[in-house]
Amino acid sequence: MRHLFSLFAWVYIGLHSNASGALSHELSTKSTEYTNTSILHPAFNRNVTFTEKSQEERTWMGIHVDTKASESNLLTRFYHKISEIINKLAYKWAWWRSNPTKAFELLPVVKNGGVLKHNKEFHDWLNRVVHLRSRGIRYDDGEVIKLLKTKQSDAELVELCTWIRTLPGMTNFADRILIDMASKPTTARVTNEIPKSDNHPDWLAQVIDRRQQGEGMTDDELVQFLKAKHTDKQLVELYSRLRYVPGFESVGEKMLLDLTSNPIKQTVANKNRLNDQESPWSMFENRPEQFKIDDNPEFKQWFVYANSYRYQTEDNIEREAFVQRVYDLLMNTNTIKELEMANVMQSLRQSGDTKTLAEDMLAYMASNRAISNRVFQAWEKLKQDPMEFWVLLPPMYDGVNNIFASWSNIYTKSRRYFVNDFPELLKSMLHQKIDGDDKMDTIALIKWLQSIQNLKSTEFLLGSAFSALHTQPIVIEHWVNLRISPEQVCDWVGLGKNTDHNRIFFHHILQYVNAFKKDNPYTNEALYDLLVKRYKILESEVLRRIEPIAKSDTFSEKDIAKQLQAFIQLKNQETSKHWWQ
């Protein structure tokens, strides 16, 4: 398409260039003709260059010169219009190819070196970037900062981000850019030191006077200004002091909350608060207006401090009472629902400094039947993938049967969403809980499952859970130490109910028997009875399934398979011999 427009433009220009050339040639010919006439005409005997007639010809020449200029302007406008169309098409093509960098370079304000602030085209570009991220396409803040820094100085970028914060839905986006800038050394921080700390009161007094007169910086602008002109150590000290300067309380709070991007500064700031014995409740009451309960730096900073306060203060606060108070405090703001709270806690549990309190919050919500029911009902209305609901479940604690009862209740309700794949999905989810990032105590889980196996409405969940867990080496070792028989293990994991006795079925049984026989007596006849008599599997099927295992050198249960194979063959020989006799 771009080449087509270019060809059309050049043909148009070429045609008009030929026309202009013809006019120029005709004009030159006429001028020479009339000049010669004025000199050689028999009516004149002297060399006369201009006459009244030549004056008319000059006027005629001027008209054609203006015509030529007009045509040139027309061509310029036409070519400019074509260029605009081509640029717009290229801009849309860049977004269609999910290339924000190329789209940014094609913005007219960028190409012309204009100002990005208050520019509608740049605003459109920002919205498209956010939309691109919502579709799961990775384009991180570092790429945006890199682009903006090619066109803006650090000071201009701070001013630009302050404007971006005012755009709908762009607050967190702009804050992340500002936080990223503040956490890295900048030229302004090195070269433009503000007065020493002893002079801060005088300097702050001047700023306060200007702000009272409606001039000077807003809170956000002042925060970014101070961040750009201090070292990390100076920032922490200054932020703590500003909280007690009249007129700057909100600035100090914002600056402290903003420290979450830097773990070192965050630790120092929290230590200062803990030394002052400041409770998270009073800190929450003095929160800024834009404070939101979601996965943003400001709320995360408060959550980190609440977790630190629970473990580092002299008050020995009971875990459950503290968690309940945090939950009630957040819910009483009437700005968040139970399912949203669960999603926020799931996000916070991914971070080491908020993991403990977030998981305790999820455990509290799951153990409260009324809360867990409301969470499930809200999730059910959204008709989300059941796998997404799984991540909202809390970790398992040894002996906390009320949490498991809540799990069982939720699974019973959500089972229909899994349809026929429910057992396999549940197995994969349990493996994720065991081997994933949120690794649990497997032995505690096994003890727990065994202790509540007689609870009502848990048979299906227990069978699926044991099926997912019994092949874990640590689980096998635990059961062997307890001398749990292979028959009991098979009953637990529900393998006896499996009508499709495939290769995996035999691997699982032989694997446990192999470990069990090392420290406990268990005969080949007992294994034969387990498979043939208890589970009604034909001898021929048993031999067919264990033959590949017996021949393989990679399976630890190879010897058990060979022994069982020999036992069945010997038994058949004896049976055949007895029949002939």
Domain boundaries, the chain: 1-94
Instruction: Return d(Cα 501, Cα 381) in angstroms, integer.
Output: 39
pLDDT (0 to 100) of residue 226: 66
pLDDT (0 to 100) of residue 412: 56
Q: Do 204 and 244 contact (CB within 8 A), yes or no? A: no
pLDDT along the chain (581 residues), means of 10: 45 41 40 40 42 51 56 69 73 73 78 78 80 72 75 70 75 64 38 38 56 62 65 61 60 57 53 68 74 76 81 61 86 84 80 80 75 71 58 50 52 51 51 48 62 55 63 78 84 58 75 88 90 86 88 85 91 75 58
pLDDT (0 to 100) of residue 304: 83
Cα–Cα separations (whole angstroms), residue 186 to 112, 251, 268, 476, 580 = 27, 22, 22, 57, 97
> By CB neighbour count within 10 A (0-12 exposed, 13-18 middle, 19+ buried), where does 370 fall?
exposed
Please give the biggest Cα pair distance in the chain. Answer: 158
pLDDT (0 to 100) of residue 564: 92
> By CB neighbour count within 10 A (0-12 exposed, 13-18 middle, 19+ buried), where does 11 fall?
exposed
Q: Kindly report the pTM of this predicted structure.
A: 0.37
pLDDT (0 to 100) of residue 411: 56
Q: Give, rounded to a whole angstrom, the gap between the first and last alpha carbons of the chain.
A: 94
